A and B are shown apart, each in its own frame.
Chain A
Amino acid sequence: MWDRTSGGLALTFHLAGINNQNFLMRDDQTGSYWQQITGAAVSGPLAGRRLTLVSSDELSFGLWSAEEPGGTVLEGVAKYASRYAKKDWEKEIAKEPTVLSFADPARNLEARTLLLGIHANGASRAYPYDEVVKEKLVLDRLGSEAVLLVLGPDGQSVRAFRDRIPALVDANGAAVANGGDAAPAFYRTFDDAQAHPTDAAWLKQSASAPVMMDEATTSAWNFQGCAVTGKLAGTCLEPVEVLKDFWFDWRNYNPTTTVYARPSEASPAAAPPGQTSHP
């Protein structure tokens, strides 16, 4: 999702081509061509410019509508409804061929392995979606940046945050030993076995319920990244943009990316727990 202004000019985009299965778009105002995934103009009068990323989430509708009951939803166009993706579209698209691959059987990476991509501190890392859903809470370090990925109460939405709380204090109110911004450890508290992700009433009740707790202060945090009880109640973690993408596409535009592996699976000689050091 992009801010579609450039140089003060609001641009209107059209689908205009494809580049190794990532589409190109053209703006009406200048005829420049832009790459969808990077927001960079690759041809035309605005070549070299970049659009500004707008923070967005990929969520289940049930969870989003519970968070934002006053929100608005794009209505489908009736005459094209028959062309829209079917309910099982994700299974179908997983079978479609790709022109690029980068398959890596040793790391269980196929071309269409679904990943959650994060950029931090100039580095990029891909988190296998299925792995994150299985772990429900991933604590990781991307360079000097501590991040956490957490599964929502709907069992399918994922958000990422900077695992950093300014001026963290311990349970007694004293500053933690390492001072400044502290990266507390979190653990998941939500009972996924009791989830009813398609029940609107349950989602309304659970959308803002705590899903994790921090070890330092035992404050309870919800899926929006805000502490709802405890010493840090009212504090919110800084969101980190996550791109849900297929491995071939992520790898094509992030050639030096690393790939997350569970600490027990990571090579002890390669990197600290939770990291793989090779692209």
Chain B
Amino acid sequence: MAGWSGGAVATARDFGRARGEHQVDMEQERQKTSPYSALLVAAFSIALFFLAYPLYVIRPFRRQGPRELALALQVIQLRPLVEILCVAAAIVALLLYWPRQERGRRRMLAAAGTLLTCAFAALARVNVYELMFHPDSNPVFVSVRRAKVDADDKVLAVKIGASARAYPIRSIAYHHIINDTVGGEPIVTTY
């Protein structure tokens, strides 16, 4: 039709060619970004495992088997280094992924993944047990006369040299650990 020869009407062939070109573009984009997204996913997953596994195994009112406990403790020992590496890997992955990814939503997802990886590393440094049972980090001691303890309350008592000390069980049952020095000897009272 005259006046319509400028190619304004799209044909099936045009759509097919466009879809093919689109698929090629996506494939090229995937090839450009997939190593970095894989790195980010790996860093995220490892950081999450190193945070969550010890929390899952070592929790109150759950039976701990010897092998899973040993593994959880090993994870804890390696965790500081692993979390640092995961954070570094996630940041590097994001920096390389971002310019190569044109889709805004995927960029945001990658950024969120990196932030979460950093959050896992930060949470791994939190001692949840001391959040449940606050420590008495600077224990104060008073004379027998000033002690507010009933006669029939129980105490853990120690005497080293001439120094005698008592730890009321009603309070150390909460704090669980008191680091102390009695008669010049460093001791730890546990309950």
Partner of A85, one of B54, B61, B169: B169
Contact residues in B for A23 (Cβ distance below 8 Å): 129, 176, 190
Do A17 and B172 have beta carbons less than 8 Å apart? no
Give the interface segment out of B13-21, B44-52, B116-124, B138-146.
Answer: B138-146
Partner of B136, one of A55, A57, A73, A77: A77
Contact residues in A for B167 (Cβ distance below 8 Å): 73-74
Do B164 and A17 have beta carbons less than 8 Å apart? no
Contact residues in A for B187 (Cβ distance below 8 Å): 1-4, 54
A residues engaging B (CB < 8 A)? Answer: 1-5, 10-21, 23-25, 31, 33, 36, 42-44, 51, 54-62, 64-65, 67-77, 80, 83-87, 89, 97, 99-100, 154, 156, 197-200, 203
B residues engaging A (CB < 8 A)? Answer: 54, 58-64, 69-70, 73-74, 76-77, 127, 129-130, 133-136, 139-144, 146-160, 163-179, 185-190
Most chain B beta-carbon neighbours within 10 Å: one of A25, A64, A67, A87: A64
Contact residues in A for B59 (Cβ distance below 8 Å): 18
Do A76 and B165 have beta carbons less than 8 Å apart? no
Main secondary structure of the interface of B (DSSP, over half): mixed
With contacts A20-B63, A23-B176, A57-B158 known, what are 6 further pairs, Cβ within 8 A? Answer: A15-B129, A25-B188, A54-B158, A61-B154, A62-B152, A83-B174
Do B127 and A85 have beta carbons less than 8 Å apart? no
CB distance from A198 to the nearest CB of B (A): 4
Partner of A13, one of B152, B154, B172, B188: B188
Q: What are the 9 tightest A-B residue pairs by CB atom distance, in nearest-first order?
A: A62-B151, A71-B164, A43-B73, A73-B147, A68-B164, A72-B141, A17-B58, A4-B188, A85-B170
